[in-house]
A and B are shown apart, each in its own frame.
Chain A
């Protein structure tokens, strides 16, 4: 279960992989996919051919091997100890789907939000179990899934998209992930029509990812409970400016952020000492580790094995969008004694 809805669904319950389950197949840190387990099913990837039947009954988190060419138990050839990744001895891990993994494996029908933006949105919207949150547009359902977890088991996410096909695809995804009790998907043009009257003064939070969010702001002010929180996500600063302008009359505490993640890579190796005769290079270090100079002296690699080098990765996301948060002003009638 991507989001447990009852104590029996808890993540630590002794569940085994069963037919019909969705598992996240982890191939490499940058290669994962969601697979629906079915009897007789087969997964083919760069590491080999994997039979779903081998998975059924295993605990989540298991490492499974591909069937070697010509059938057999997949342990053909010697020494698979620890999984060496040799050709023909390929393996993958079968993981429990979580909202974070789902964001990484779902099919992109639109540009999606990633974990950095998602986590800040959930925290800044102050979502706790039992909350009611409105969202538009649904897009590919990346954020929606995390919103569902935040309000589960008794809260609700009402999500709206004006694109009928995308709404249907999202609805299917949520159904398959066991989230239909938490999420309602509706086809509606929020910019043109606003949110439905039935949600008036009933929402703890609203999230907008729309091309012209300022058109929806007046409706949002009617949907939120007092002190409720709005978030508007926009890629362009002009959109942000217009949205903030529209917020000023009914909202306070208007704050706009950017959040990005910088990742680091590590390397086990030592840098060369200053007495090296060879030219310093910026190539891979480990190969040169044990070389000696002409005079037979060690090149200063006397340090212990715990020299782990770490530096930022050179690729990074430069921008996703601006996140603007605001609180619904407490109405004047509330402040009269």
Chain B
């Protein structure tokens, strides 16, 4: 009898995997790789990440005297605590308001020295929070909601919690969008989800991708292919753009082996051999053209990537530098410093033999030249797209869907117009997704006060045969 297949989703963290740490309920997010030397700094304490290995994703940890300690979910910040007092609490609250609460810093009787003394005596974070509440002269006058907020705020400071999250397309995109959106061309998670659906990403697809958003798309497509099909990441010029973000995804070696990189000029020249030579409209530059916006904001990242690529070539599988978090206060997400490659889902610490980004075999190139790709996703948020979409479309099979992302409307409008006039695509749609999050709590339901107003634009369509059809 065959052994059961490995579960589709690993539910526990393993040695060497990539994890997403959520500190204090979203206040701070960062990717880490669970190597023996990995640490995280919380407040002024540096904690080893070893206690996380083998723990289920979704586990919560508190900061104890000796570092991270698993804590029960019941201790989790009481964001979910509804009013346990029910009717009593409500009745009392209706008589409470803040007319006599004056914010002049005199409400708290404990001084910072008192608190330091408590810490030295070994008081836990929660005990300190209780003491603060007990010593607040205004606490009792607040509404229940206000009391909850106060308690939460103190807990975050004195009893921080670390949530172990599993990196997935959704959490990786959301984290980058929150922390360094320019890196991913301001692509919001709903926009990314739409690209994947519109391009019909499914098993056994041969997906052509132009990914200038750090590898977010390549990783997402590889995840959805699940080890079948191919992601052919193509690039203008001679140097591939960085796809380092795929390392956050914990892709299995099967999935990684499906990722290939090839210059657009090669795909086009295969196409045109035997036909009239194809003019490459936008792709004659010799150097890779990185979007200006990204370069400005992430010079640090580019530098780290360059170092990383060199190390990868040296295949250092025992490298111990594993901290993926740069201690720049404004940029918590920094994931390229690790040169330690680990793609195996079984705790294997040897770098995967099949590296992502290798060139496709001649057989594959020939196959794609004859049959085309099954779909196309373009994310080049700093580029004019009209010209290289013109080069990319002939590489698709007939009836293949495509989805083009951009952070500006005009390039997509121009592209849409050109496609309409040339009649090479149908079902053209230029859309902008709108996403609004709600706070849903008893008597406190309303949309979030903060809202992101922009997540990008998408031009989608289907490639068709543009010549007449013979009936015979």
Contacts and interface: CB of A to CB of B under 8 A. Distances in A.
Interface of A: 3-7, 9-14, 26, 29, 54, 58-65, 73-75, 80-83, 93-96, 98-100, 115-116, 118-120, 122-124, 126, 128-131, 146, 149-155, 204, 225-227, 237, 240-241, 244-245, 248, 252, 254-266, 268, 306, 308-310, 312, 322, 324, 327-332, 334-337
B44 to A, nearest CB: 25
Contacts of B409: 264, 310
B56 A227 contact: yes
Contact of B9 (A13, A80, A131, A255): A131
Given A262-B431, A308-B410, A153 B463 contact: no
Given A261-B432, A263-B430, A95 B190 contact: no
Contacts of A245: 82, 442
Candidate in B192, B228, B229 with the most chain A CB atoms within 10 angstroms: B228
30 contacts: A4-B205, A10-B205, A11-B375, A61-B398, A61-B465, A63-B464, A65-B471, A80-B468, A81-B468, A98-B401, A120-B189, A123-B189, A150-B202, A204-B9, A226-B58, A227-B56, A244-B440, A252-B73, A256-B440, A257-B436, A257-B437, A258-B436, A262-B433, A264-B431, A266-B430, A308-B414, A310-B430, A329-B73, A330-B56, A332-B72
Interface stretch (B132-140, B163-171, B296-304): B163-171
Contacts of B434: 258-262
B218 interface: no
Contacts of A310: 409-410, 413, 430
Interface in B52-90: 55-60, 69-74, 76, 80, 82
A74 B8 contact: no
Candidate in B168, B227, B367, B468 with the most chain A CB atoms within 10 angstroms: B468
A6 B229 CA distance: 10
Q: Tell me the dominant secondary structure on chain A's binding face.
A: mixed
A151 to B, nearest CB: 8
A226 B445 CA distance: 28
Nearest to A65: B469
Interface string B178-200: 00000000000110111011101
A99 B436 contact: no
Contact of B398 (A54, A60, A131, A226): A60
Nearest to A103: B197
Contacts of A75: 471
B423 A82 contact: yes
Contacts of B76: 252
Contacts of B445: 237, 240-241
Contacts of A124: 170, 189, 193
Given A4-B202, A334-B56, A336-B70, A64 B469 contact: yes
A50 to B, nearest CB: 11
A316 to B, nearest CB: 9
B170 A123 contact: yes
Contacts of A11: 200, 204-206, 374-375, 397, 400
Contact of B196 (A64, A119, A131): A119
